[in-house]
């Protein structure tokens, strides 16, 4: 009986860890759909790599939020469609199309496990 509870406890722990990992990327996707830079920035690592058609740089959390907010405001986000989503060794990624009034951008989101949370390390927008 003791062995049964140990197995159940370990299984439950893996389930919770798996669930927690998925929350980060799904929250970022939801924020992307509405063009909410502040919500996306909540997941930024201390430094985040942001690549856009006209510029690419590594930014601090606060700088990255301003750059993303400016991009969302000028482009006027309509929606975000997920093409593919996956994970590998604690990292998560999502490839999708950010649809804006300025056009469609193929978007890559890369998140990595850091401590007990997923952090966004790279955000890439390419003309589609």
Reading the chain (128 residues) residue by residue, the pLDDT tens digits are 566 545 545 655 554 444 444 568 999 999 999 999 999 999 999 999 999 999 999 999 999 999 999 999 999 999 999 999 999 988 999 999 999 999 999 999 999 999 989 999 999 999 98
Q: Kindly state the tokens that stand for 82.
A: 């997920």
What is the rounded distance in angstroms from the CA atom of residue 10 to the CA atom of residue 26? 25
What is the rounded distance in angstroms from the CA atom of residue 37 to the CA atom of residue 24? 15
* H or E element in which residue 10 lies: helix 2-34
Give residue 24's pLDDT: 84
CATH topology of domain 2-127: Nuclear Transport Factor 2; Chain: A, (3.10.450)
Q: Can you give the residue ranges of every domain in the chain? A: 2-127
- Phi, psi dihedral angles at 85 (to 5 degrees): -140, 140
Give residue 89's pLDDT: 87
């Amino acid at each position: 009986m003791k062995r049964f509870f140990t197995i159940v406890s370990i299984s439950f722990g893996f389930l919770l860890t798996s669930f927690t990992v998925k929350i980060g990327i799904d929250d970022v996707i939801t924020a992307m759909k509405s063009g909410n830079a502040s919500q996306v920035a909540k997941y930024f690592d201390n430094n985040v790599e942001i690549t856009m058609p006209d510029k690419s740089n590594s930014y601090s959390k606060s700088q990255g939020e301003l750059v993303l907010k400016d991009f969302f405001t000028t482009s006027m986000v309509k929606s975000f469609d997920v093409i593919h989503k996956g994970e590998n060794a604690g990292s998560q990624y999502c490839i999708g199309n950010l649809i804006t009034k300025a056009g469609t951008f193929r978007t890559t989101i890369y998140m990595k496990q850091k401590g007990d949370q997923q952090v966004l390390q790279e955000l890439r927008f390419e003309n589609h």
